[in-house]
Amino acid sequence: MELTDKQTMDWITRWADYVDEHADELNELDGAIGDGDHGTNLNRGTHAVKKAFANEKPQTVPMVYRTAAMALLSTIGGASGALLGTAFLTMARLSKKGETKLETLLTEATESIKKRGRSDVGMKTLIDLWDPASKAFAEHNLTYEKIDSAVEKTKDMKATKGRSSYLRERSVGHIDPVAKSSSYLFIALLKELEQQNK
């Protein structure tokens, strides 16, 4: 699966719109196990991405990813900005080298998040969404149901990484907010592919 520069921009822009739409919900989720501002922070970052797309008008797929990465890194504080920025920078670097398959880009982006955050599946982080979603996409069977299932699974996990890990057992019973916000990225991707197939 390959996306053009415009399709890549449309996908990321759709994600930004979803974040904007659900910012209050993300804050509420984060309020249970964090600072309660994940939606606000991510929304600031994705607004910056859209503004950068409009101003810089990236003409290639690598530049789309790099533009998104730099906007996120410069506007979102904390771990989520660094990790999401790392993911997009990885996709920028690989696509610049000639890797065009989105399946590979997402898989490698997931591995870069694991490495940067020193985290893995089961720690109640965005990895618990990125890992199963990118693998399902690589196998050409990613669905909305699988995305929702991955998010729901974080509810029963005990956080062992990030700010919510301080809560220990009290983190159980709550959906991870960054897994939830990351789910919108993959939902946006499925929506973009549906638009292409119309």
Q: Distance of CA 25 to CAs 39, 102, 190, Å?
A: 7, 29, 21
Q: What is the pLDDT of residue 159?
A: 73
SS3 (DSSP) at 2: coil
Domain ranges of the chain: 5-196
The answer to whether the predicted template modeling score (pTM) of the entire model surpasses 0.85 is yes
One digit per residue, the tens of pLDDT, for the chain of length 198 reads: 899 999 999 999 999 999 999 999 999 999 887 888 999 999 999 999 999 999 999 999 999 999 999 999 999 977 889 999 999 999 999 999 999 999 999 999 999 999 998 889 989 899 999 999 999 999 999 999 999 999 999 998 887 766 565 455 666 878 999 999 999 999 999 999 998 877
Number of H helices, E strands in the chain: 9, 0
Those residues whose C-beta lies under 8 Å from the C-beta of residue 190, and which sit 6 or more positions away, are 142, 143, 144, 147
Check whether domain 5-196 has CATH 1.25.40.340, yes or no? yes
CA nearest 192: which of 110, 102, 132? 102
Q: What is the pLDDT of residue 122?
A: 86
Cα separation, 77 vs 134, in Å, equals 25
Cα separation, 192 vs 40, in Å, equals 25
The 3-class SS string of 108-177 reads HHHHHHHHHHCCCCCCCCCHHHHHHHHHHHHCCCCCHHHHHHHHHHHHHCCCCCCHHHHHHHHHCCCCCH
